[in-house]
Amino acid sequence: GQNIDQPTEMTATEGAIVQINCTYQTSGFNGLFWYQQHAGEAPTFLSYNVLDGLEEKGRFSSFLSRSKGYSYLLLKELQMKDSASYLCAVRDRSNDYKLSFGAGTTVTVRA
Amino acid sequence: EAQVTQNPRYLITVTGKKLTVTCSQNMNHEYMSWYRQDPGLGLRQIYYSMNVEVTDKGDVPEGYKVSRKEKRNFPLILESPSPNQTSLYFCASSLMGSSYSNQPQHFGDGTRLSIL
């Protein structure tokens, strides 16, 4: 299986930028997803990376380096509603449809 | 509206009393999966299914059963629940095939089970 590591918690100020790192180990990488999950709610899809580089979607961007087994999610112009848990999930070629999730990073945005 | 629907949303029950959590999706997805989410452990896959009558174990299948008799439904069955199965459960679905490799899994709203 995969070993996926993310920081447990991060705190930032409204309007600032926060970067959430994710490192993974897998024998056959086949894509990385970021999800947002508000407390007690379902995870919702944010971004997908399969090639190296940066994917930008409005205030959110996600970066991937396959050689380093590393991704980050960048949240810009933070808003109070961005307070949530952010989940990194990796797909492996050995089971193309299974996602292995990190434990998640809880981001708290302060006024 | 495209969605994954789980029922019940909340359930408190006692050890040994069989229960079923239903999951239904209206997106014609082939792939369906059950996860449990526990503090500090993230989402762990229990069982998954790649089509009707095709199911397989995930990472933590012990104590659970599933069935896939119809494409849209994927119930999770706890034959003899125990307190260590107290958790938040999510059902998810997605398209399959190389053309859809960038398609995410869609999650239901979750079922919070408490086994006393």
The string of DSSP codes covering A55-104 is EEETTEEEEEETTTTEEEEEE-S--GGG-EEEEEEEEETTEEEEEEE---
| H or E, element range at A33 | strand A29-37
Does the beta-carbon distance from A1 to B96 stay under 8 Å?
no
Q: What's the DSSP call for residue B15? A: T
Question: Quick one: tokens of B9?
Answer: 């949303």
With an 8 Å Cβ cutoff, is A7 touching chain B? no
Is the pLDDT score of A1 beyond 60?
A: no
Q: What is the mean pLDDT of residues B25-33?
A: 95
A31 torsion bin: left (phi>0), alpha (psi -120 to 50), beta (else):
left
How sure is the predictor about A101, in pLDDT bands with cuts at 50, 70 and 90? very high
Does the beta-carbon distance from A101 to B96 stay under 8 Å?
no
How sure is the predictor about A26, in pLDDT bands with cuts at 50, 70 and 90? confident
Q: Would the CA dihedral through A75, A21, B93, B101 be positive or negative?
A: positive
Instruction: List, in sequence order, every beta strand (DSSP E) within chain B.
Output: 4-7, 10-13, 19-25, 31-38, 42-51, 54-57, 65-66, 76-78, 87-94, 106-107, 111-115
**Measured between beta carbons, which residues in chain A are less than 8 angstroms from residue B59?**
1
Kindly report the average pLDDT of chain A as a whole number.
93
**Measured between beta carbons, which residues in chain B are less than 8 angstroms from residue A9?**
none
Identify which has the larger pLDDT, A98 or B45.
B45
Above pLDDT 70, what percent of chain A? 97
Q: What is the mean pLDDT of residues B88-96?
A: 94
Q: What is the mean pLDDT of residues B63-82?
A: 97
Residue A2, pLDDT score = 64
Among the residue ranges A41-45, A76-80, B68-72, B98-102, the one predicted with the least confidence is: B98-102
Above pLDDT 70, what percent of chain B? 99
**Measured between beta carbons, which residues in chain A are less than 8 angstroms from residue B35?**
101
Residue A52, pLDDT score = 97
